[in-house]
């Protein structure tokens, strides 16, 4: 990670860290560099529902047009929608203004290349080099060479048609509760599922600029769990603010996270002979039970660093069809170039419809190990690595768990946090071990 780019674009508190001035520079440098590479002088821009989205969009678009590149504004859409439309509309780059699951004061800017994939580390490093240069030597055309701005808020229909076409069945007879997180999925997800024939009950689909992710969505599914049971629905679906994540809720109100969705889909695809190399890519955050369960099904699991971009890199390198994260970023490479909540939803629902089984029954594909995750707020995300006390506590925890569990301590890529996670057969034990490590980090 560089000075500006984290694990998923540039993020920060809007108008404090992610300022309009920085957005303008990102627009100039991003448009110049990315369209120069492919010669397509056209950038598409989408945003989620945050209050700061319009401000940052205006600054970013001004930067793009100032280097002579045209912009198409998509309005409120999802991150995977931008990724798809980048290639569908023949743009030189796609940009999403969103901080995903973060609280509404935060915002972010993430880039996609002309191929719809997130930028490589090398491309982000080149963008950073242009941004931090003391003198701005990029072009400043005048007259009719200044970039033009176009509005295409209806373009999302093409994305929804693509997602709908990814399955070979309808969803008639299914009652689905959908939590849209007051974000980018608010208009898209209910429309998609109804078009497929489902009876849809919608939650948190009235964004006001400040209620995105507030006690709702994939990180706060409690309300969804209650509604699924009380409405006697077949399944519940929860997206995050930009709908690149999905978690599900079964008919009993039990949560099925990204690991569960991947395992259900992996088993189904393997049985149909559609799981490339009988292999799935996951991150180090995936549950041990997930790893062991897929192994028993004859499915190999390759692990990467946290971040769906790293999952994607591994999938593309080996030509694999399925991968994702426990948090709900799931990639179906045959149909998309990034984690996609809506696409994951219809792929999961296809399995339920085709198998005629409940989500609760399908989720028994593996037994989840107890897992405890604690986020420790810090000023310096790296300093714990130099603390002898922290390292001693980590080593002691690893020794206590042995081969029956594991400990993972890592800095967040998007927030001022150190994440402490442990898994094992004894929940009381791992709670104790995580608390000891977290205390040591706080003291350090």
By annotation, the residues acting in catalysis are: 100
Burial class of 231 by CB neighbour count within 10 A (0 to 12, 13 to 18, 19+): middle
DSSP state of 343: H
Q: Which residues of 368-382 are buried (b: 16+ CB within 10 A; e: fewer)?
A: bbbbbebebebeebe
436, two tokens? 């000891």
Residue carrying structure tokens 């994260």? 325
What is the C-alpha end-to-end distance of the chain, expressed in Å?
A: 23
Report the candidate in 269, 263, 308 with the shortest Cα–Cα distance to residue 290.
Answer: 263
Pairing of strands 175-179, 106-113: unpaired
Q: Are 22 and 117 in contact (CB under 8 A)?
A: no
How far is the CA of 261 from the CAs of 27, 287, 407, in angstroms? Answer: 36, 13, 23
DSSP H or E stretch at residue 330: strand 330-332
88, two tokens? 């569908």
Handedness of CA 318, 321, 322, 324 (dihedral sign): positive
Report the candidate in 246, 251, 317 with the shortest Cα–Cα distance to residue 79.
Answer: 246
Strand partners, 149: 71
How far is the CA of 417 from the CAs of 97, 306, 346, 411, in angstroms? Answer: 22, 14, 33, 6
CB atoms within 10 A of CB 435: 14
Task: Compute the distance between CA of residue 29 and CA of residue 10 in angstroms, rounded to an integer.
Answer: 13
Report the candidate in 143, 244, 223, 140 with the shortest Cα–Cα distance to residue 177.
Answer: 223
Handedness of CA 118, 305, 321, 261 (dihedral sign): negative
Task: Compute the distance between CA of residue 200 and CA of residue 180 in angstroms, rounded to an integer.
Answer: 12
């Amino acid at each position: 990670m560089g000075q500006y780019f984290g694990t998923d674009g540039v993020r920060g508190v809007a108008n404090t860290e992610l300022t309009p001035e920085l957005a303008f520079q990102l627009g100039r440098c991003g448009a110049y560099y990315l369209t120069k590479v492919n010669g397509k002088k056209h950038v598409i821009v989408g945003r989620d529902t945050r209050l700061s989205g319009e401000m940052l969009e205006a600054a970013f678009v001004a930067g793009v047009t100032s280097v002579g590149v045209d912009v198409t504004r998509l309005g409120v859409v999802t991150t995977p929608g931008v990724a798809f439309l980048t290639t569908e509309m023949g743009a030189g780059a796609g940009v999403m203004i969103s901080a995903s699951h973060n609280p509404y004061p935060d915002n972010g800017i993430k880039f996609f290349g002309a191929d719809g994939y997130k930028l490589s580390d090398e491309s982000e490093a080149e963008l950073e080099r242009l941004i931090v240069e003391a003198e701005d030597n990029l072009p400043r055309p005048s007259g009719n060479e200044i970039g033009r701005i176009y509005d295409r808020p209806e373009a999302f229909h093409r994305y929804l048609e693509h997602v709908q076409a990814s399955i070979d069945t309808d969803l008639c007879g299914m009652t689905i509760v959908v939590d849209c997180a007051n974000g980018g999925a608010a208009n898209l997800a209910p429309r998609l599922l109804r078009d497929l024939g489902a009876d849809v009950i919608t939650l948190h689909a009235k964004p006001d600029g400040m209620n995105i992710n507030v006690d709702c969505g994939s990180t706060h599914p409690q309300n969804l769990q209650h509604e699924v049971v009380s409405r006697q629905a077949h399944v519940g679906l929860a997206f995050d603010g930009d709908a690149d994540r999905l978690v599900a809720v079964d008919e009993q109100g039990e949560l099925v996270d990204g690991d569960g969705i991947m395992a259900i889909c992996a088993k189904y695809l393997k049985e149909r002979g559609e799981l490339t190399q009988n292999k799935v890519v996951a991150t180090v955050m995936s549950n041990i039970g997930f790893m062991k369960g897929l192994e028993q099904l004859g499915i190999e699991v390759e692990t990467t660093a946290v971040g769906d971009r790293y999952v994607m890199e591994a999938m593309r390198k080996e030509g694999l069809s399925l991968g994702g994260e426990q948090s709900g970023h799931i990639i179906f490479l045959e149909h998309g170039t990034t984690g996609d909540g809506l696409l994951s939803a219809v792929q999961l629902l296809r399995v339920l419809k085709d198998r005629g089984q409940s989500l609760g029954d399908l989720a028994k594909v593996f037994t989840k190990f107890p897992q405890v995750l604690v986020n420790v707020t810090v000023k310096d995300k790296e300093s714990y690595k130099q603390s002898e006390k922290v390292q001693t506590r980590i080593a002691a925890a690893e020794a206590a768990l042995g081969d029956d569990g594991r400990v993972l301590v890592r800095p967040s890529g998007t927030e001022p946090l150190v994440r402490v996670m442990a898994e094992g057969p004894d929940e009381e034990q791992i709670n104790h071990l995580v608390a000891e490590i977290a205390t040591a980090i706080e003291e350090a």
